[in-house]
Amino acid sequence: MLTLDRFEEASEKVREVIQETKLIYSPSYSDATGNRVWFKPENMQRTGAYKVRGAYYKISTLTDEERARGLITASAGNHAQGVAYAAQRYGARATIVMPTSTPLIKVERTRAYGADVVLAGEVYDEACDQARAMAAEQGLTFIHPFNDPCVATGQGTIAMEIVQELPLVEYILVPIGGGGLATGVSTLAKLLNPSIKVIGVEPAGAACLRASLDAGKVVKLDRVNTIADGTAVLEPGDELFPYLQQNLDDVICVEDDELIVAYLDMVENHKIVVENSGLLTVAALNHLPFTGKRVVSILSGGNMDVITMSSVVQRGLIMRDRIFTVSVLLPDRPGELVRVANIVAENRGNVIRLDHNQFVCANRNDAVELRLTIEAFGTEHKEHIVSALKADGLETTIIRTQL
């Protein structure tokens, strides 16, 4: 299936439905990493993710009878929307089985494309088992989100566009869940130019491909634990594994905390919203063991609910020391609160929360506790504010921030 002719056919076909996602040069990440970095913004794709490519191409290859039976798939969200949209274009009925942990925005958007949504299982793999059972019981045509060479061919059209726009690209970073996107991109990139290096990126809490490559065979993890819900997969596709073994040059695993910081960077420096799975390749830029190369980082999707956005931003600010909390012990007498506030203000800090506890000591004249959550410019500014408080004779301790 994964031949140059098929990739060319798929590229022509997906043009019927995709948005043009031109490369975006990143001055900030280029300066930070010493490489020339571009983003492939599939988060701006129709349905908010690259998945529409593989779904649409796969459905286009089905017979009229297969489409008429109705389509079914399992997905944590992005493939769901891709299948729902593609099915709508072909006038086919679609049923999507989604894990119960799927963000509400992905569920609602899938329904908005006319699909029936069934919530089942805590992770993708359990939802997939349910979808396969329903396909067998109801005679529906199953569309696998990744373990299908045809779907992977559709996803790989991204590589065609990258090479056409940046012929001298040297490295492509691609997120990995089940391996469909990585299979398509790495295989086509090697067909177009064998010197292009393709690096897969997994969340450390769901590194099923890394485990499989180390073992030399497909390995199923016991559990996954990551905020990158779109790549929270227990095992890579067995039909794709040989391609991944052959065409991927490396796999990088990143921690969830790195995704949180990457989200903050993308919002502030590029004004781009990227979901956690799509941020894998952004976080991986800091792990590259080279400089001076042309690197393209694929941002696979941007479907993120507002509650998650809020949580990630808050945690990112805390991790960057842009928000911190101190406990200050001071005598319970008039003017002490003003004294502390003046010190913070004079050192350009901004108090965003204040808690005054008079009962921290039995003797209130000895000490009461003042907890201040302060906005700062970063670690150096935070340390400057804390030093100023201590220099004024205040017993000051940095404590965990609770927002």
List active site positions: 51, 300
Contact 200/244 with Cβ under 8 angstroms? Answer: yes
Phi, psi of 14 (to 5 degrees): -70, -20
Cβ burial, residue 333 (10 Å; 0-12/13-18/19+): exposed
Residue 146: strand, helix, or coil: coil
Rounded (to 5) percent helix, strand, coil in the chain: 45, 20, 35
Nearest to residue 357, comparing CAs of 369, 346, 348? 369
> Residue 326: beta bridge partners?
372, 398
Residues linked to residue 71 through DSSP beta bridges, in sequence order: 94, 141
Q: Is the dihedral of CA 204, 283, 191, 158 positive or negative?
A: positive
CB within 8 A of 242, min separation 6: which ones?
none
For the chain, what is the radius of gyration of the CA atoms?
25
What is the DSSP pairing of strand 141-142 with strand 368-375?
unpaired
**What's 150's DSSP letter?**
H
Q: Which two tokens stand for residue 30?
A: 């280029």
3-state secondary structure at position 378: coil
The alpha carbon of residue 82 and the mean position of all alpha carbons in its chain are separated, in whole angstroms, by: 17
Task: Identify whether the C-beta of residue 155 lies closer than 8 Å to the C-beta of residue 180.
Answer: yes
